[in-house]
Amino acid sequence: MSEPIKTDVLIIGAGPCGLFAVFELGLLDMKAHVIDILDKIGGQCAELYPEKPIYDIPGLPYVTGQGLCDALLAQIKPFGGTFHLQEMVQTIEKIGDPLFRVKTDRGQVFEVKVVVIAAGGGSFQPKRPPIPGIEAYEGASVYYAVREMEALRDKRVVIAGGGDSALDWTLNLAPIASHLTLIHRRSEFRAAPDSVNKMMKLVGEGKIDMVLGQISALAGEGERIAKAIVKRNDGSNFEIACDALLPFFGLTMKLGPVADWGMEMKDGEYIVVDTAAFESSVPGIFAIGDINWYPGKLKLILSGFHEGALMAQKAYHYVYPGKRLVFQYTTSSTSLQKKLGVA
């Protein structure tokens, strides 16, 4: 187990609400670390609809999901939030007043005064393809996310899927894999057209293979794949020798271990919070965004921003007990403007 990371606040979820919480906390001199199970910052906006237009962000008549995340990252830059991606919180333990010890699935430990859950509808989990016995290979030769590209250098790689993740990793891994095959069940792709064009160019140059069909079975010894059996769209079968399979069949949302953290829940899906500070039934643990519930709750990004602002006001008193908090406006406070680097 690694040495604990000690900071003021741990935010669970790197979507828009989690990002804006970094800003609101930073204005009040609170340092935050952010954990997300995805391999990128932005939550649902970046993963599920990066190009989808959003029309109800105040002051922005139109912005894409990715555009909003990019703007939020620029806004929080003065406060240096630290991100821990491809990690999921497993346990939260109260060890002081106020103090929590938080452990992740990768063995990282945090000791913090405040926990903010901004996890949307829960954690994103990759969809497992319907391939018999695939569980035996997961983590050793079947990967739902690429944590280290070098681990796939000179390997025979098969990528299954037709979305942005499948195409992005096809392009990234083509130069380092000894052989790469992309398998998709149809000739139309859901990925960005530029990525599709680049992939087709690699196919035309003979640098990668593309097969229309679906993987029906895997074969190998122990945890190691030796080959994938593919059923083509014309009904024929053939085998591909491979060392690693990367299935990108999208994500599903699961509450994960959140329900075991001791907070009052509604319908087993939402964290019940007050409307003064969006604090849960456990003092020091807050919930903002789609994962919380209170009377009149609206699942809107702008609502999550409001919740984050009030959360920070209450969190301050856990981080700086006994210290008076003076409310200030960024438009008129020179001290806030100095923090933002605009004074």
Render pLDDT for 154-200 as a digit per residue (tens, 0 to 9): 999 999 999 988 999 999 999 999 999 999 999 999 888 999 999 99
pLDDT at 36: 92
How sure is the predictor about 49, in pLDDT bands with cuts at 50, 70 and 90? Answer: low
DSSP string, 137-188: GBTTTB-SS-S-GGGGTT-EEEEE-SSHHHHHHHHHHTTTSSEEEEEESSS-
Q: Which CATH architecture has domain 128-249?
A: 3-Layer(bba) Sandwich (3.50)
| Residue 206: C-alpha distances to residues 181, 199, 200, 212 (Å) | 11, 11, 10, 16
Q: Give residue-wise pLDDT tens across range 110-159.
A: 999 999 999 886 666 778 899 999 999 998 999 987 867 899 999 999 99
> What whole-number distance in Å separates Cα of residue 245 and Cα of residue 208?
15
Residue 59 burial by CB count (10 A; 0-12/13-18/19+): exposed, middle or buried? exposed
The whole-angstrom separation of Cα 151 and Cα 164 is: 21
Q: Which of 115, 97, 88 is nearest to 285 (CA)?
A: 115
pLDDT at site 164: 86
pLDDT confidence of residue 162: 94
Query: What class is the 5-124+252-340 domain?
Result: alpha beta
Bridge partners of 198, per DSSP, are none
- Whether 59 shows a pLDDT value over 60: the answer reads yes
pLDDT, the chain, mean = 92
d(CA 304, CA 81): 18
**Which run of H or E residues covers position 224?**
strand 224-232
pTM of the model: 0.70
Tokens 């990252």 correspond to: 73
So where are the chain's domains? 5-124+252-340, 128-249
**Per residue in 204-240, pLDDT tens?**
999 999 999 999 999 999 999 999 999 998 889 999 9
Residue 1 has pLDDT above 60, yes or no: no
Instruction: Return the pLDDT at 160.
Output: 97
Distance, in Å, from the CA atom of 221 to the CA atom of 211, rounded to the nearest integer, reads 25
The alpha carbons of the chain give a radius of gyration, in whole angstroms, of 23
**Structural tokens at position 107:** 């063995």
Would you state the pLDDT for residue 272?
A: 97
* CB neighbours of residue 61 within 10 Å: 8
List all residues 6 or more positions away from 220 whose beta carbon is below 8 Å from its beta carbon: 137, 141, 226, 227
Q: How many CA atoms lie within 13 A of 144 on its CB side?
A: 18
- pLDDT of 149 reads 87
What pLDDT sits at residue 135? 93
pLDDT at 256 over 80: no
Fold matches, 5-124+252-340 and 128-249: yes
Q: For residue range 77-88, list pLDDT tens digits in order.
A: 999 889 999 888
pLDDT at 123: 61
